[in-house]
Every structure is written in C-alpha cells, then in structure tokens.
Structure 1
C-alpha cells in the first residue's frame, strides 16, 4: 500500500506542476470559450486525443452543420465543388470531429464541355480519414520552419540580405532583399514563372528563380510569390549542406511522428493518395501520387513552395506543435520565441496581408470566425487549408482535391469558411449577467434589430448602458439608433465603448474582431421631453461573417431612475433577427 501511495503522490505532483505551468488551466471555464482568449502557449505536454465536443465545452450543432455542408459540396450538380474532402477539428488537445466525404478518385479525364469524364462507378475510391492529399502551398510552412531552424542554428539571420547566402540572388538589383522579406512576401518578386515550360532542366530553373528581376522595390509591396519560397528552399539547402526533403523529414516530420507527410509519396502508399487534375499541358493525364504544381514537378517533386503530401491527422499534429510553442510529445522542433516570431505580423504597412515569418495571419477569407491577429495558417491551390487559433487553442483542417479533374470548377473558399466558422460558432460566448444574452446570429447580407418600447423620459437627459461582444469585419456594424417619431425615422446615437480592443472615443457604429472580449458601452441622449424609441441594429454585408454580436445588461435611465432594465424586465424588447442565447 505504501508503494501505491507513493505512486499516487508522484502522479499528483506531476499533475499539479503541469497545471502550474499553464496559468489558464487553473482558471475555471477557459475550455470551450471564444470570449476568454488565451495568451500563453498550450501546456507543452498537450497531445491530440479523440473525444467529444461536449467534453471540451463545444456546441456540437455548428460542427455537424459544417460537416454536412462539406459533404453536400462533394455531391453537387452538374458536378461537385470538389470530389473528396477530409475535415478535422480540434480544441484544447481534443479532436472533436474527423470526417471524410466524397471520393479520392472519381474521374479519368475531362469532357470537351468542361465536365468530368467519370470512371466506371465501381472504380470510384472513397475518401478516408487517412487519405493523403497534395498540400500545394501549405508546403510553404514546412519550408519556413526549416529556415527558422537554420536561424536557431546560427546559420541564417532573417534580417540579412539573401545574397549573403546565395550570391547569385543579387542579380538584377536584389542585393538588399532580406530573408524576412522572402518569408513575408514583401521582396518585390513576381508571383510566378513557368519554369517547367520555359527552362529545360532543374539547374536552369533554379537559376531563373535566383536571377529573376524584381517587379517592385523590396518592402514597398505585398506580392504573394512562389519564387520567395523556392529561393528559401535553395537557401536552406545551401547553408545546411542538406537537401530540402531531408531537412523536412529530419527536422519536422520524424520528430513529430508525422508518418504520412513528405515529398514524393512512395509507391507503397500511393493507393491512399487523392487524385488531382487531369492535365494535357504538360501531358500528365490524371495526376496521382505526384505533385500537382507543374513547377514543383519540374524540380523533381521537391521545392520550397509546393510538393508536400500529408493527412489531416498529421497536419493537426503540426498545428498542435505550434500551439504548444514548438514541441509535441517531448520533441521540440522550434523554440518558443521562434514560434512567437513566426506568429508576429511583420506587414503592418499592408493591413489586408498580415504575415508572420512564413505563416499567414488573420485572413478572414478562409479563417472566417476564427480570424484574429494571432490566428495563423495557410491554404493550398489543390483545395487545402490549415487554421491554427492560439487564442482559443483550436485547429481546423480541410483537405480537398478540388482540382480533380479540373481546376476550373470553382473556389473552395466557401468550404474553408464553413469549416473554420463552424468551429468558431461551436465555442461559447457566455452572458455577462444572467443566463442569456441577445445574439444577432451569423450570416451575410442580413439585418437584425432589437427595439425598445416607447419610453417617456421624465427629465431632459437619458443614459443608455449595455455590454456588447462584437466580433465582425469592419463593414459589419452594430449601431444604436433613436427615434422620436414612433420609428418613422431613426438617427445613429454616438456611443463610447471600453474594454480590451474597444475603439477610442465616440463612434456611431461599432465593429471589430480579434480582441474576443466584452465591451461596456455607454451613450447619452436629450430627447427634449418627447417619447423615445431605441433600437440596436446589426447589419452585415455580402461576404464574411465573424462570430457575431451579443448584447447583455441593457439599461436605460433618465434623471429620476430606470426606464428599462432588460435583466429585470425580460420581454420588453422586440427582436427581429436577434434571439436569446446562453452561449
């Protein structure tokens, strides 16, 4: 018994020390919350385990809705948006959804009218949760991590000119372009060169990239460019004396146990690889098991900008490694400070193109409601996306073969938004007071109004106070409005908001995202003895929704006391589009 007691004490001490290392873990109610952003990395011992949404405080309904929409997109007519898809959603170290839909292989070509030439039905191969996908440009994250490992080893300085390591890169006026500018796509290089078509072999193709003439002075424009990452791959090989595939394998995938991740999948797993495009120029037929990107293909399948294949599970492991501060299962691939640098925006001069060292940041067009200043990720042309949200410690992976059999069938962005947005909506926003708050709902091109009854102020001054949780893009606004003619006309009321991320000074409309905190909002009116109506109006435009708007603690007073207290007198407000919500 004494031995068992000692084991128990040791386990208790280990548990206590782990919690103490993570101050958030000692605060009740952090898991499952959207409105309590985490500041620190996840505990370094966090590993991904399968579990339920309820276990980590998530609402399963938005998750199921997102997966249902993804499945529907694999079944559309006259053709699906994408042939097959695998989705993985995780929160606080728990994989809450893992789903496969559609087909990894369905087509053998395209028809003259642009449709797909389907294989016989018995040869269609369903997508599975372990299907391996061509990640396309998500490969850039692997190259960036490799480069930052060279920085940690003292071989590279991110602020140094690239020409220090690749002298030939100085050609055509690029001698001042830095490593950081390549990582943040501010080098001035053009987006693309048809290497596979215009140069005869790998040496000449690499030389064409390194000697390319810039389109803009370094640091003056954001231009997303494959050439930046091809150059970085060559740089990493040059300074390390090791080829890029080995750098990725030895520095990332092997330590992290990412067994299905790498370049040029071996023949033994090609039956698990999702097919991509049917191409006639170059004449490759249905591409399967080889990289889709023509330039990466012409470079032997290994390039800094494309070429990595992976599964949803392996990508989630990479995401959790970033959330953990560079470590997973005791194997560290990056220092915490390096991860912080990679998730820091180095492009404040290009606000729509926030970018860390390799990672894209705060891109609502595919991160949807998970968008925030530290939300990191990347997409790939083949129909892939990875979203890593440190503020909620959440991961959203969507892998599709949307180019099978044609890249012309449409954008996968609606699915990307649905998956990330579904995970955001599954996270709770808890009322400030009581059991329920007013929720505007989430959707594009809609207006929700919450209206007071007629109020009869007894003095010349009326004050309004309420709590607001606002997570919207700048064009989706919350406005407090007043009317003194029974609602025939309305005027915006200036308000003042206080709290983390709140705008300064008086505003006639509130919007904002990324702060993930409730604001206290106040306003003053002088209705001059007339009857007064107030309404809260939330309006969204045609694209992109955040987590939405919540209102709570609404109180209206005049100089003699309370005219309306929504907490004590529920039912006096008239809602159109708003609904009571407990999360």
Structure 2
C-alpha cells in the first residue's frame, strides 16, 4: 500500500472536520472494566460520584441541559432525575416546578412551588410493581401458586369465561381482559367497584394475547387483600415500604404533605378541580385511592431503594424482602411467544422505547401515565429513575418517552466501554434515522484489519463495512453488524481488487438507540491507519 494519500483520497478525507470529544480517563482500577462487569453492589444506597463508581462524568452533566430544555419546551412543568451505579447515587437533581398552574388554561399560580429532589410524585402505573411484589411476598409464604386459577381464591371471578385465568396471566397481562373500563362511573363504593372488575368479561381467550390492562392488577390487588386479611396499602406498608425505610412512599398522602407533592391534572368534569395530593387516576380515586394498578406516591430516593433491593437479590439494609429465586422469576421473560412484549411478573423487560441504551436482556422497568419511569439494568448494576408531572395541568401533552430515552441514553453513555487508558476508538454516535459514515483511503491494500465493539438494536440498526474504487459507488457490505458483542472482536476482511476506499457506516431506524458502535486499531495490510479527517457524525473518544 502506498503510504501517501492520493489527491482523491485527500479530498474525501477532508470532507468534514474532526469533532473531538475527550473524556477524562477513569481511575486505573475501573478503566478497563467490561460493560457488564460492574463493581460489587453496596448493601444500601449512598451518595457517590462518577469517579467513585467508575463512570464518565460528562454524560451525567449533560443531563441537566436536556431536562432544562424539556421544562422550557413544556414537556413537563418539572422533573426529578435519579441514577445509581452499584449503589452509588451519581445523579439526583430537580428542574422546574412541582405546581405551576391553577387550571387547564395554564393560568399560572401567584406562588408556584419549585420542584425539589424530595418532591413526592403520584407514580401511577409504577404502583403495579408494588402490587406484584406484595403478591410475591405472599407467594413465598405459600398462599398460592402462580398457575392457580384466580377463581380458586376469588369465587366472584368465576364468571363470564374467566374460570381458567391464572394468577400468572394477571401478572403478565395475558388474562384476556380489556385494557381499561370506567370503573369510576359505576355506582357503589370500593367493594362494589372491585366486584364490578371481578365480574367483568374477557375480550380475548386467556393466554392468547398480550394486552396491558389495569384490570389485571386491580384483581391481583384483591387477591393480596384476600390472602393477607389487610387492605393493600396496609400490607404494602407493613411488608415492603416499611422494612425498606421508604418513609415518603404511601397511598393517600395526608394534607400536611401537599406542599411536597407534585400537582397533576385539572379534572373539573368529575368535580375534582386541580388534582394535587390525591391520586390522578380516576379509577384508583374511585377505589378510595388504594388500587392494584395505581395509587402509590413516592420520591426518587425511595424508588431507588426499591430498585436497589431488586438489584441486590431481594435484600436492602439487612432486610430480606424476597428470595433471590423469586427476584429472578420476577425479571425473567414469561412471554417468549409474544416477541417484543417481553414481560416478567409485573416488570417490563428490554423495552428500548423508554430504556434506550440501557435496554438489553438484563434490563427491567416500568412507566407511569403521570410521566414517571424506572429502568434497572442488572448487568451494569445501574438504575435510572425519571419522575415528571407531565399531566399538569392537562394530559393533552406530548409523550415523555423522548426524554425518558435521552435520560437513559446519557446514563448508559456514562458507563465506559472496555478500553484501556489513553487508547482511542471511533464512536458512531447516537440518533434516530441516522446514516453515519467514516471513509478511509486504503490504496492498493488487499485486506483491512480492525476491532469492533457494539451494542446495536437487534435487526433494526446496523453497522456496515463497504468498499469503493472511486469513493462514489459502494459495494454490497463486506460485513454487517447488529445486536450485542460481548467483547472487542477482531475482524480481517479481504478487499476486492481495485479497492481504494473503505467505509464504515452506522444506520439506525426511527426509534431506540443501543449503546452504539465503536471501531479501533484500523490497519490495511498490517499498516496502521490513522484517518486525518472523518465525517462530523463521528466522534473521536479517548478514555
């Protein structure tokens, strides 16, 4: 291979400018750790830093700009972020307002309430995780088996073709229930409305369809109450939130805490006005604020304790809430027959739509309609919790999924890929509907050598290696990468005759970004390549 660049090679190499992004090198003890080889978990959460947990600080610092922009753009009046790594709290910040409006016309309050790190949120459907966890505590005590018919324990359920619906199917949303019914419009009190759910007919045969439904968890909550002899809120306080020290987690918070609670929606149509300090969900409200599908109020720190308990195999601060085997059952995919709807017992699994670059086979989480989400990645001992009051003052707002994804992506980006101090790698960057490229002149070379590391959305995003004789017309890919690599992988590709240029190309679809594609140690015919210029979508990273 000629050592100098031809005029055409120089022209192609000079298409754009280099964008350097220099990350500080982590300490020697953590700099070469694999993506999936984190430091040991602590027994409890504690304040930490990027350095103390082996993370890169810049992505965590960039979260502030993203959240402030989301508040300014009206995505939500306020936000709290919370992230941990191996028990180190590496991000915990508040933005915007907990209460800002008096009505759905967005008339601002004279004295808005600022969001703080201690703000208490209506976490909406994340409440389902509390109900499922409560049920599994009773499972461990022998009250039921997962494949018991619900009607074995709740005789009122044995109506309208529901005789064979199992408890497992409630937890995995495969019972056949419809997604939602207006329980709050039914006459009677809490008991009568729960009976209405228990008697409600199915919309599909049990086990044939995945359909997320609040009715499943309302029924599961009724089972918890039947087995425990307590109302759901009492049992959860006694067996879960109390032992975990989740002092700011509760149903039906007292009026004395209103100043600490994020306001939600203005609901004059049902006589509620601005909902602030009461559960937002109308059905949960009609069930006296205590229901299996919604009703829990909590803070980011308290939810972090719950997440850490799951990461720590059911234990927190010396309290064993669940057995390790039970935790694994909760986070194991129960629905292989419904690809893309991976679901454990209560937990959603590997959902890139809001987990983004933290999403993989070890990730589990849940979202809430009020604008809340929790993501846990077991392989990396990482938790990312995002709490917003996006329904304040109206639910007619844009989806918060884009900031959920941005937040999860930045937390993932803080986890260094496996690369030694002072080494360099080319990173393809993040983004939807991208076509990012790096072109290298390889005049006369017969082969190219390189190493690649990637975590790419399986069969949706791709990395390609292509060749060209003129820099304009490109071959079919010599190599296609998708999915996850466990380690840096060496590649040697024989080049077609007349090859003058090699192009690395990274293509993404319109949603979900994995951890990305990295390339290093480029050589052609054993001669090291150092591209002088690259396309501006690519970033040179030095760890």
Verify same fold: TM over 0.5: yes
CA distance in 1, matches of 2:209, 2:45: 39
Q: Which position in structure 1 is the counterpart of 2:13?
A: none
After superposition, where does 1:475-490 map in structure 2 within 5 Å?
475-484=460-469, 486-490=470-474
Q: What's the CA shift string for 1:232-269, capped at 9, x where partnerless?
A: 00011112222111111011101000000010012232
Q: What's the CA shift string for 1:144-200, capped at 9, x where partnerless?
A: 100111111111111222111112212111122111111111111111010001343
1:105 aligns with 2:76: no
Q: Specify the SS of the correspondent of 1:448.
A: strand
CA distance in 1, matches of 2:501, 2:537: 18
Query: Is the deviation greater in 293-302 or in 388-397?
Result: 388-397
1:579 aligns with 2:539: yes
CA distance in 2, matches of 1:406, 1:233: 28
After superposition, where does 1:92-491 map in structure 2 within 5 Å?
92-111=86-105, 116-120=106-110, 123-431=111-419, 435-457=423-445, 462-473=446-457, 474-484=459-469, 486-491=470-475
CA contact (8 A) 1:195 1:295 kept: yes
How much does 1:518 deviate? 3.0
Q: Specify the SS of the correspondent of 1:492.
A: coil
CA distance in 2, matches of 1:64, 1:296: 37
Q: Which position in structure 2 is the counterpart of 1:62?
A: 59
CA contact (8 A) 2:82 2:91 kept: yes
How much does 1:42 deviate? 5.1
Label 1:72 to 1:34 Cα distance change in 2 as closer, same or farther (>3 A): farther
Label 1:281 to 1:37 Cα distance change in 2 as closer, same or farther (>3 A): same
Label 1:154 to 1:136 Cα distance change in 2 as closer, same or farther (>3 A): same
Unaligned runs of 5+ in 1: 1-27, 496-508
Q: What's the CA shift string for 1:270-294, capped at 9, x where partnerless?
A: 2211111000121100011110000
CA distance in 1, matches of 2:488, 2:206: 40
CA contact (8 A) 2:154 2:223 kept: yes
CA contact (8 A) 1:464 1:522 kept: yes
Label 1:316 to 1:127 Cα distance change in 2 as closer, same or farther (>3 A): same
Q: Which position in structure 1 is the counterpart of 2:491?
A: 521
Q: Which position in structure 1 is the counterpart of 2:72?
A: 75
CA distance in 1, matches of 2:323, 2:29: 25
Q: Specify the SS of the correspondent of 2:452.
A: strand
How much does 1:453 deviate? 0.9
CA distance in 1, matches of 2:32, 2:144: 39
CA contact (8 A) 2:32 2:421 kept: no
CA contact (8 A) 1:88 1:99 kept: yes
How much does 1:393 deviate? 0.6
CA distance in 2, matches of 1:402, 1:419: 16
Label 1:526 to 1:365 Cα distance change in 2 as closer, same or farther (>3 A): same
How much does 1:202 deviate? 2.0
Label 1:84 to 1:32 Cα distance change in 2 as closer, same or farther (>3 A): farther
Query: Is the deviation greater in 222-231 or in 155-164?
Result: 155-164
Q: TM-score, normalised by structure 2?
A: 0.90
How much does 1:34 deviate? 8.1
Of residues 483, 489, 503, the one that matches 1:512 is 483
Q: TM-score, normalised by structure 1?
A: 0.84
CA contact (8 A) 1:382 1:403 kept: yes
Root-mean-square deviation (CA), in Å?
A: 2.1
Q: Specify the SS of the correspondent of 2:436.
A: strand
